[in-house]
Structure 1
Amino acid sequence: MPDTAQLRRPAYLSLAEQFARAIQEGRLQNGTRLPTHRKLADDLKLSVQTVSRAYDELIRRGLISGEVGRGSFVQTRPREPAPPYLPERLGELIDLSILKPVCEQIHLEKMREAFAWLAENLPASSALSFRPNMVFPRHRNVAAEWLSRCGLDISPLNISLTNGATSAMTVALMSVAPPGSTIATEAISHHTLVPLSTYLGIRLQGIAIDDDGMMPEALDEACRTGVIRAIFLQPSVINPTATLMSADRRAALAEVARRHDMAIIENDILGPLVEERLPPIAALAPERTLYVTSFTKITVPGLRIGYLAAPDRYVAAVANRHLVSNWMATPSMAEIASYWVSDGTAMELVNWQRRALAVRHAIATESLGNLSHRTHPQSLHVWLPLPEGHSEDAFVSQARLRGVAIAPGASFRTADFGWRPSVRISLGSTTEQELKTGLGTVTSLALGDPEALLLAI
């Protein structure tokens, strides 16, 4: 029976945490039937709504299942991996868990203007054709122009339009790594890469990193001891640790890939947002690199369109796998993206985002004080290694109890090399005032007694 003396506001979340801890410690076994919502509410002198929300939170985490007519049961069998961010923003929480750009009224106005323009200018092919080659030739030319801003010189014929970066990542993986093969990535990498590789039947091998990203000698050793088909890299700030990989490191990794004849998938979704950016790896190893970029993190989240640039040897594979997994990108989104690239709106929003992020980083610097953390002036987040003695689960849970959602670092871990409990904190997902408040809470927890956090859950 939960201890009402241990409940903190919001009560439903604190109640859920007590159940979660009992399940994780084995005090509630798989299949155990929980009290009905009303009975537990009566026993604890809580509202039925509070208990219902606690049970809903446990269902969301995959710890219990609700069966109509039978009740709620503990569920501890393997389940689908949970995303590091909240699937929906709860009103009483400051949500610093999901990575998104800073958005204000200007972004909504730009999208409304774009749809108004589209209503007057939608080509017949975008509305009526099933054939990608009838819809996208013009858009590929515009894409090549945008990719030149990213430091990549490539033919429009080598570019596929996708519904954002995740679609492009999926197609790229399918194109270079058949089921049963192995791909390498940084020990701290993209949170969707782990489940995506599992779904595609691909083995993921984490490679040791340092302050400059993946270590070439560690990658070379992994290639000499096993067969690796491809490398997935995020060299330009979007990686969890906000690292901007040096030119020398990029060249060294490209050389290892050539030596072992591996493909490279380069995820560069911040594109021209990163000032003083270095040439992408795709420019250093164009014969083997599939390059991914998109607009959702640098312009408007609703502009779900991305570009996948592939070398000649993979163009046919990319086209075929994109057809079977997506058929083609949404033409209306492609029209808006091309319009914005051509008329300068895309870069206008990128420059706006740089200025907004400068303000957010100033807030983070002031709020975090002397806490050691990693970031970059154009990153959308802060990576905060937790001070000695802190448990990541307890830290994230206690932050939630105090009204702040942050992303656990374990969601991005692919290997244990030099691992240290950490959290990722989004800078763009809230208002400036909410960010100050949320970071203040995180700082207070980080400077507090780690044992007290464990006891408070």
Structure 2
Amino acid sequence: MTMWRPDPSKLPRPAYASLADQFADAISRGDLKPRSRLSTHRELAHQLRISIHTVSRAYELLIRRGLISGEVGRGTFVLAQPKETMPPYLPERFGDVIDLSILKPVCGDMHLQKMRDGFAWLGKNLPASAALSFRPNMVFPRHREVGREWLKKCGVDIAAANVTVTNGATSAMTVALMATVTPGATLAVEAISYHTLLPLSNYLGIHVESLEIDGEGLLPAALENACRKSEIRAVFLQPTVVNPTVSLMSAQRRYEIAEVARRHDLAIIENDILGPLIEPRPMPMASYAPERTLYVTSFTKITVPGLRIGYLAASDRFAAAVANRHLVSNWMATPAMAELATLWITDGSAWKLVEWQRQALERRNSLANMLLDGLTYNAHPQGLHIWLPLPEGHTEEAFVSQARLRGVAIAPGASFRTSTGPWQPAVRISLGSSTEDDLGSGLGIVGSMLRGEPEMLLRGV
């Protein structure tokens, strides 16, 4: 047992977060060595004169940060080093593998030519401000105006001054979190969510409260209960098909969540990277709670992956904080990419690419429906992926590994898990990341694996 002890006089509220921070600092300084065994929940609660629940939440936060690990029957130990999150997709593509692991739009020769033509246009028409200016306000007023028109297609009507042009959705998400949740504060998320959200929150020092979901997404009652028990600052949502389970939240559910957020003064971060691709769909959360929503959308999943530009629309309440956080973390989006996005919006190319993508995804979802007939999975006719719960007897690790041995890469469902509660093993299968022929072959292999007996994962020795 380690001799280091937290200081009970330095536990400002929320106590669990400040307690976790004391442990994290001790680990960083070396006061707590790797493999040091920590006090039990009950022992530490007694020593510090705090509740066992507070200690449990602190330990849970440290586990999420990759600093400690609980071992059944043995205790809780300091890890040798913080664990880095592995991506659910193949970092590189090897050999003849059919890669259905990474979420991409359907692309063809037309998309490559479109980008080449766009760069040729930029070579002739790039304005001096885009090439020579260090001042965002000299570069982006026109792009914000055009971005406002695109946001209207997404269902968001907001002043151009409240639109921030970002280098895609990840940049916008980071800024939105920094603008709404201070280090040590709590962010509410769905039990299955965006795979980079947990590590990003950890890097920013934000505690994540994972909440129960159903077939539509976040349960309003779960958010209400969490707000009564914890000091939650914001809730992160992906209500329109892009979430791992491919759920589409109803208008009534969106209204109920907006009312909970209003009662407890929460910010809402809405990740809607598919934007106008999904038709029909309810209005975005930003229309139900415009005074407290930070709305994120982008072009990479609905037009061409190389068009790494997005928009963050923030209400007046958060506009100044968003501008400042974006300035210190990104300075500004890449002007040349912003020029290209603006061109494609104004000449209609962006909308044509969205319509093309919608039709391509409808064909691929029909193919999946045929090849996976009789199996249970979640999908949307215009969705980029399917969520496939594994039948009893299958484990994610074995199933993903066996699929890889048969030449198909798929993403393990646990990569998107934010909860430590009961878990239904599942896999995510991208429909746009390969050719249509390869998709058919890959889905056929997955289907045959599910219709056969589960195979034990063999390990080399």
Q: Which residue of 1 aligns with 2:381?
A: 377
| Structure 2 residue 292 is the aligned partner of structure 1 residue 288 | yes
Q: Which residue of 1 aligns with 2:344?
A: 340
Of 120, 126, 129, which residue of structure 2 is paired with 1:125? 129
| Structure 2 residue 266 is the aligned partner of structure 1 residue 262 | yes
Q: Deviations over 1:303-326 (max 9, x none)?
A: 000000001111111111111111
Distance 2:385 2:298 in 1: 18
Of 181, 189, 199, which residue of structure 2 is paired with 1:185? 189
Of 107, 116, 138, which residue of structure 1 is paired with 2:142? 138
Q: Would the aligned equivalents of 1:208 and 1:417 in 2 still touch at CA under 8 Å?
A: no
Of 439, 454, 457, which residue of structure 1 is paired with 2:457? 454
| Structure 2 residue 355 is the aligned partner of structure 1 residue 351 | yes
Say if 1:76 and 1:104 are closer, same or farther in 2 by CA, change over 3 A.
Answer: farther
Distance 2:382 2:294 in 1: 23
Q: Would the aligned equivalents of 1:186 and 1:208 in 2 still touch at CA under 8 Å?
A: yes
Distance 1:77 1:438 in 2: 37
2:457 counterpart SS class? helix
Deviation at 1:121, TM superposition (A): 1.0
Q: Would the aligned equivalents of 2:217 and 2:239 in 1 still touch at CA under 8 Å?
A: yes
Deviation at 1:456, TM superposition (A): 7.6
Distance 2:342 2:123 in 1: 15
Q: Which residue of 2 aligns with 1:273?
A: 277
Q: Which residue of 2 aligns with 1:51?
A: none
Deviation at 1:454, TM superposition (A): 3.3
Counterparts of 1:319-334 in structure 2, within 5 Å, are 319-334=323-338
Of 430, 436, 443, which residue of structure 2 is paired with 1:439? 443
Counterparts of 1:139-218 in structure 2, within 5 Å, are 139-218=143-222
Q: Which residue of 1 aligns with 2:244?
A: 240
Deviation at 1:236, TM superposition (A): 0.5
Q: Which residue of 2 aligns with 1:397?
A: 401
> Structure 2-normalised TM-score?
0.81
Q: How many residues align?
A: 383
Of 88, 105, 108, which residue of structure 1 is paired with 2:109? 105
Q: Deviations over 1:253-300 (max 9, x none)?
A: 000000100000000000000011211000110100000000000000
Deviation at 1:351, TM superposition (A): 0.3
Of 286, 305, 308, which residue of structure 2 is paired with 1:304? 308
1:428 counterpart SS class? coil
Deviation at 1:418, TM superposition (A): 5.1
Distance 1:180 1:154 in 2: 31
> Structure 1-normalised TM-score?
0.82
Distance 2:350 2:248 in 1: 23
Q: Deviations over 1:62-113 (max 9, x none)?
A: xxxxxxxxxxxxx985431100011111122110000000000110111111
Structure 2: segments with no counterpart, 5+ residues: 1-33, 35-78
Structure 1: segments with no counterpart, 5+ residues: 1-29, 31-74
Letter in 1 for 2:395: S
| Structure 2 residue 88 is the aligned partner of structure 1 residue 84 | yes
Deviation at 1:138, TM superposition (A): 0.3
Counterparts of 1:220-239 in structure 2, within 5 Å, are 220-239=224-243
Distance 1:86 1:446 in 2: 22
Q: Deviations over 1:158-201 (max 9, x none)?
A: 00000000000000000000100110111000001011001000
Q: Would the aligned equivalents of 2:401 and 2:457 in 1 still touch at CA under 8 Å?
A: no
Distance 2:165 2:226 in 1: 33
Q: Would the aligned equivalents of 1:177 and 1:230 in 2 still touch at CA under 8 Å?
A: yes
2:232 counterpart SS class? coil
Q: Which residue of 2 aligns with 1:251?
A: 255
Q: Which residue of 1 aligns with 2:66?
A: none
Distance 2:256 2:408 in 1: 40
Q: Deviations over 1:348-406 (max 9, x none)?
A: 00000011111111111111111100010111000000011111111111111111100
Q: Which residue of 2 aligns with 1:426?
A: 430
1:453 counterpart SS class? coil
Letter in 1 for 2:229: T
Letter in 2 for 1:371: L
Distance 1:224 1:436 in 2: 48
Q: Which residue of 1 aligns with 2:118?
A: 114
Letter in 1 for 2:457: L
Letter in 2 for 1:361: N
Q: Would the aligned equivalents of 1:207 and 1:415 in 2 still touch at CA under 8 Å?
A: yes
Distance 1:175 1:91 in 2: 43
Deviation at 1:415, TM superposition (A): 1.0
Letter in 2 for 1:290: L
Distance 1:444 1:141 in 2: 51
Q: Would the aligned equivalents of 2:387 and 2:427 in 1 still touch at CA under 8 Å?
A: yes
Letter in 2 for 1:159: V
Of 355, 366, 371, which residue of structure 1 is paired with 2:370? 366
Q: Which residue of 2 aligns with 1:316?
A: 320
Letter in 2 for 1:383: W
Q: Would the aligned equivalents of 2:344 and 2:350 in 1 still touch at CA under 8 Å?
A: yes
Letter in 1 for 2:275: G
Distance 1:281 1:350 in 2: 21
Deviation at 1:446, TM superposition (A): 1.5
1:308 counterpart SS class? strand
Distance 1:288 1:327 in 2: 24
2:311 counterpart SS class? strand
Deviation at 1:453, TM superposition (A): 3.0
Distance 1:168 1:329 in 2: 10
Q: CA RMSD in A?
A: 1.4
Counterparts of 1:17-96 in structure 2, within 5 Å, are 78-96=82-100
Deviation at 1:419, TM superposition (A): 2.4
Q: Would the aligned equivalents of 2:366 and 2:381 in 1 still touch at CA under 8 Å?
A: no
2:429 counterpart SS class? strand
